[in-house]
Amino acid sequence: MRESIRTYPFAGCLFFRQILLLALVLVPLSAAASPPNPPLRVTIASFSFPPLLHTARDNVFSGTMGETVKYLCEVASITCNFTVMPLKRAYQKVRSGASNALITINVGQLTNCCIPSDWASPWTAGFFSSAGAEEIPKSAKDLTGRSMIMVNGMKSPYFFAKNLDQMAADKRLTLWKAPNILSSVKMFLRKRAPLLWGGEDFMWYIHKLDKNATYSFKPLFKKPVVIWVRKDKPEVLALFNRIFAKVKAAGQLDSKNLLIPALMQQRYIDAPFQGTHDPEFP
């Protein structure tokens, strides 16, 4: 009896050791058999602003900034759904949560709902001059007695001269307001006024209308365009920031954080020339 009693503890330990080994084998097998996590899906709102952001042929989202953000999505293995719409609606969509993110300029207008990405690309605006670079105003006071064109609703010229409208009302300045970018460029090329306030992207329109046009451009306003990501999507923002750092370190972005020419040429699709753009972009 004593010998049989002594064998039970050993047998019990052996039994439990076998159970433990079996468990260690089964755990990895069950983990390997579990289904993979579904890809992260993100809805990104945008608006038509060629050649930076636009809908190209076959309803494909493109643009220099558009293709850069698309590339970040691909490297991050994010399924990004881009929707191009009027600017006001794009802002409403991201504020309401109908869109997870919005590509637009960072002037602090979305801080209540969203956080800007580390990826940022500069957008500049200033004066185009048909009378030479020396005729471009350096400050608001230099506008006295001058004639200029701007897009109605554009905000950036007021960063340069806060009292533009009052100057025009006092007849210290002749101010022409065009309904959209295309109209403003046409007015400029037809010599309605020697000065046009616009973004560097206005050159795309000038080239489309008159490849031989001569003009000077001086940037006087600069702000970054970013991906505004909703605060309730921190995992999306973190992933964008991580992938941006990775792509930048790999030398795939230029000094403006846009795709290097070798990549951009493979991907960029030009916008149809129709000039239907929302003038609310700064």
pLDDT averaged per 10 residues in sequence order, the chain, 282 residues: 40 45 40 57 96 93 98 97 95 97 95 98 97 96 97 95 96 97 96 97 96 96 97 97 98 98 97 64 55
Q: Which of 79, 78, 96, 80 has the alpha carbon at shortest distance from 88?
A: 96
Cα 46–50–54 angle (5° rounding)?
40
Domain boundaries of the chain, sorted by first residue:
41-124+223-267, 125-222
Residues forming a β-bridge with 259: 253
Measured CA to CA in angstroms, residue 172 lies from 145, 147, 152, 278 at distances of 6, 9, 19, 29
Structural class in CATH, domain 125-222? alpha beta
User: Per this entry, what is the length of the chain?
Assistant: 282
The pTM assigned to this predicted structure is 0.82
What pLDDT, on the 0 to 100 scale, is given for residue 36? 52
The closest alpha carbon to 54, from 204, 281, 269, belongs to 269
Domain 41-124+223-267 has CATH 3.40.190.10: yes
The pLDDT assigned to 226 comes to 98
Is residue 65 within 8 Å of residue 103, measured between CB atoms?
Answer: yes
- Show Cβ contacts of residue 119 under 8 Å, excluding neighbours closer than 6 positions: 68, 69, 72, 226, 227, 240, 241, 244, 257
Tokens 């007015």 locate to 187
- Map residue 195 onto helix, strand or coil: strand
Give the type of residue at 91.
Y
Domain 41-124+223-267 identical in fold to domain 125-222: yes
Q: What angle is formed at CA 129 by the lines to CA 125 and CA 131, rounded to 5 degrees?
A: 165
SS3 state at 257: coil
Cα(231)–Cα(251) distance, rounded to whole angstroms?
29
Identify the pLDDT of residue 282: 58
CB 158 within 8 A of CB 143: no
* 51: preceding bond cis by omega (within 30 degrees): yes
pLDDT on residue 280: 53
pLDDT of residue 279: 53
pLDDT of residue 64: 98
- Phi first, then psi, for residue 268 (nearest 5°) are -60, 135
